Amino acid sequence: MDYFEDFSAGRKLSPTVLAAALGACATETLLLNSERIERRFGSYGVDVLASEAGLRRSSLYSITDRQRVCRTYSIVRFTDHPDDSYGREHTKVLAGNSLGQVFRSHGWSIHKQTLHIGSVDAEGPTEEVCELMRLHGRQTLALHVYQLLLVKNTQVFEYATIIEAHHPDHLSSSDLLDIYHYDDSESLSAEALLKLTALLRSKSTA
């Protein structure tokens, strides 16, 4: 959890970010990642791999040949102080439900404030992420790090900081750059990225 705190501590939502979130969500038509997976692969589900206070690892998967194939490996660091305005929805997320689907179904808009788009090398089935994705040999996975903001009416809440690694058949770094606005001035330090990729490679503990 400290890996997230290292780069998120002291990071506040600027007036520019707040305005961007309100503006984007007023006309937002972006698909949820769960919707992208279901449209492309014909099915979708989520497995919570590990959960502890404030931190959750999940596999967003589709079914291929009767096997679950992870399409997005997600590590979520929830804000330290959840707001009562979304308490009911947060409880459902903690119970293992799909984050985006829960909030959309309860009238919230979602804005992803991108902190980094890039890639990470994975070494093969000895790493949990590759085992879940059923990949063999050295692989390059698209990497997306962002703050997830919840928007309703004129209120904006910072809900979580999320790191996602995507299956090569699902999304590439070029795909992510086409989908999401990315301001390099908000990018993460090399040290922060090293710590986050180390967290990604570490094995989850239930």
- State the CB neighbour count (10 A cutoff) for residue 34: 19
pLDDT digits (tens, 9 = 90+) for 11-56: 555 544 554 555 554 445 578 999 999 999 999 999 999 987 788 9
Length of the chain equals 206
Helices (H) and strands (E) in the chain, counts: 8, 6
The region that residue 160 occupies, defined by phi over 0 for left and psi between -120 and 50 for alpha, beta otherwise, is beta
pLDDT digits (tens, 9 = 90+) for 89-146: 999 998 989 898 999 999 998 888 899 999 999 887 778 999 999 998 889 999 999 9
Find the radius of gyration of the CA atoms of the chain. 16
Confidence band, pLDDT 50/70/90 cuts, at residue 184? low
Q: Where are the alpha helices (DSSP H) in 47-205?
A: 87-94, 99-105, 128-133, 173-179, 190-201
Superfamily of domain 2-201: Chorismate lyase-like (3.40.1410.10)
| Domain ranges across the chain | 2-201
CA triplet 112, 117, 120: central angle to 5 degrees? 130
Q: Which amino acid is at 202?
A: S
Confidence band, pLDDT 50/70/90 cuts, at residue 206? low
**Which residue is it, tokens 């002291």?**
10
Confidence band, pLDDT 50/70/90 cuts, at residue 7? very low
| Stronger pLDDT, 125 or 86, i.e. the higher one | 86
Spacing of C-alpha 102 from chain mean position: 15
Round to whole Å and give the CA distance between 101 and 79: 19
| pLDDT value of residue 26 | 43
| pLDDT value of residue 51 | 87
Confidence band, pLDDT 50/70/90 cuts, at residue 204? confident
| pLDDT value of residue 134 | 94
Confidence band, pLDDT 50/70/90 cuts, at residue 9? very low
Q: Minimal CA–CA distance to 87: which of 134, 20, 150? A: 150
| pLDDT value of residue 153 | 85
